[in-house]
């Protein structure tokens, strides 16, 4: 790295001024291979209320990493910048509230995923996934399956017609898995001059 020293004043230098100088720096790093690279693979900060007499640190870490249906998979998912937008909070109580809401949301996310998977396994059913039919969809896949579903509102000659678009059998299967009433996914009623009729 080179750095040129500037003059103390502007204008043409005097004949008695010393010539400009330039200082340079060079950084040299000696690289050596680690004898046991796996021992320096990383660090884990473990914060727990479980005492060392009740459970060893290694056992707590393994139990945490082995979670498949709780909040941990969701925490890995929201680390993607596209999954959740940055939110800036200054007050400690607001930061705590936001963290609590995030964990509650991830719990709901995990419950939806667990119920759908159990129901599909018990009834030997599958739903569309990223790579074909699957009986082990993630909650993100379940939510994405409902994105094409839309309620179309048409009004013509004083008549309002509502049409449910995009409903497939796997949508009703997921509703059954979650214990949801899917009657509003069925063909809705039409309104004609204040009178209620049913669309064919």
Report pLDDT digits (tens) over 125-151: 999 998 899 999 988 899 999 999 888
How far is Cα 137 from Cα 77, in angstroms, rounded to an integer?
A: 14
How far is Cα 5 from Cα 18, in angstroms, rounded to an integer?
A: 12
Q: Same domain for 118 and 87? A: yes
Inside any domain, residue 84: yes
Which residues on adjacent β-strands are paired with residue 195?
192
Chosen domain end from 134, 161, 188: 134
Q: Domain of 97?
A: 53-134
Contact 34, 40 (CB under 8 A): yes
Which positions ≥6 away from 151 have C-beta within 8 Å? 162, 163, 164, 165, 188
Q: Higher-confidence residue: 11 or 142? A: 142
Q: What is the DSSP track for the chain?
A: -EEEPPPSS-SSPPTTSPPP-EEE----------TTGGGGS-------SS-TTTS-HHHHHHHHHT-SSSHHHHHHHHTSTTTS------SHHHHHHHHHHHHHHHHHHHHHHHHHHHHHHHTT--EEETTEEESS--HHHHHHHTTT-EEEEEEETTEEEEEEES--HHHHHHHHHHT---GGGS--EEEETTEEEE--
Neighbours of 38 (CB within 10 A): 6
Which positions ≥6 away from 54 have C-beta within 8 Å? none
- Per-residue pLDDT tens digits for 22-68: 777 787 877 776 666 666 666 777 888 888 889 888 888 888 777 66
- Per-residue pLDDT tens digits for 106-118: 888 888 998 999 9
Inside any domain, residue 173: yes
Inside any domain, residue 83: yes
Q: Same domain for 150 and 123? A: no
Q: Same domain for 130 and 81? A: yes
- How do strand 150-156 and strand 159-165 relate by DSSP bridges? antiparallel
Q: Structure tokens of 61? A: 């870490």
Domain count, the chain: 2
**Is residue 153 predicted with pLDDT exceeding 60?**
yes
Q: Same domain for 122 and 64? A: yes
Inside any domain, residue 164: yes
Q: Residue 197: its pLDDT value, please?
A: 40
Q: Structure tokens of 183? A: 């009657």
Q: Same domain for 72 and 129? A: yes
Q: Same domain for 130 and 156? A: no
Chosen domain end from 134, 156, 175: 134
Inside any domain, residue 4: no
Chosen domain end from 114, 134, 154: 134
pLDDT averaged over the chain? 77
Q: Residue 188: its pLDDT value, please?
A: 56
């Amino acid at each position: 790295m080179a750095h040129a020293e500037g003059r103390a004043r502007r204008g043409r230098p005097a004949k008695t001024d010393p010539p400009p100088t330039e200082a340079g720096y060079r950084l040299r790093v000696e690289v050596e291979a680690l004898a046991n690279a796996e021992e320096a693979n990383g660090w884990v900060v473990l914060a727990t209320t479980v005492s060392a007499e009740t459970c060893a640190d290694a056992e707590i870490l393994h139990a945490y990493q082995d979670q498949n249906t709780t909040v941990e998979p969701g925490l890995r998912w929201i680390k993607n910048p596209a999954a959740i937008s940055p939110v800036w909070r200054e007050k400690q109580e607001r930061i705590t509230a936001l963290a609590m809401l995030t964990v509650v949301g991830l719990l709901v996310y995990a419950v939806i995923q667990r119920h759908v998977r159990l129901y599909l396994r018990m009834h030997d059913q599958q739903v569309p996934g990223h790579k074909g039919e699957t009986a082990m969809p993630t909650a993100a896949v379940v939510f994405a399956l409902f994105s094409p579903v839309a309620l179309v509102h048409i009004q013509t000659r004083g008549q309002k017609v509502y049409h449910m678009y995009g409903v497939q059998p796997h949508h009703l299967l997921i509703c059954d898995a979650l214990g949801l009433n899917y009657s509003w996914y069925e063909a809705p009623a039409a309104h004609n001059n204040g009178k209620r009729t049913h669309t064919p």
